[in-house]
Structure 1
């Protein structure tokens, strides 16, 4: 039987680098569902969720989107979407 009481003490915190903040939010139709996709400044996908969520609304409040994600910089990031879907997508540049 253990002679200890209570919970174990937390371990010492180790300093690690944090993930880069998302730079772009793309609101795009995906087969009939509107989704929001978060990208780093390198156009690397970091999250994807339903665009109708409160979080998506909060992130885009006061921002003016660019219409269309059909530039060459989006080719790899949005390769699963059709040209028609990409042309009507909204691209928000998030404040970092």
Structure 2
């Protein structure tokens, strides 16, 4: 007779540090392709995807975008974008 009958007990839960919540959503042209980039409050990028997705529409419902990401706080985060792309960018501050 087998001694391994039944299911294994679940492992004990370990507390881990959670990632900070995303604070900014930047919709910006990237060489003819519009992307949505997600940033922490420190302007560290944590995600990038096609801005035409339904998720972007859901995240921005009821929010008003700031026009342009030309401030010094965006210099490092958006250094790969031209000045005109940064000028036309839409910056959404997400609710926490």
Q: What TM-score bracket applies, with the shorter chain setting the length? A: over 0.9
- Which residue number in structure 2 is paired with residue 60 of structure 1? 60
Unpaired stretches in structure 1, ≥5 consecutive residues: none
- Give the whole-Å Cα distance in 1 for the aligned partners of 2:17 and 2:2: 38
How far apart in 2 are the matches of 1:17 and 1:25? Answer: 23
Aligned equivalent of 2:15? 15
Distance 1:23 1:56 in 2: 14
- Could you tell me which runs of 5 or more consecutive residues in structure 2 were left unpaired when the two chains were aligned: none
Give the TM-score normalised by the residue count of structure 2: 0.94
| Cα distance in 2, alignment partners of residues 80 and 6 from structure 1 | 56
Q: How big is the alpha-carbon RMSD for the aligned residues of Structure 1 and Structure 2? A: 1.3
How far apart, CA to CA, are the structure 1 residues paired with 2:39 and 2:85? Answer: 17
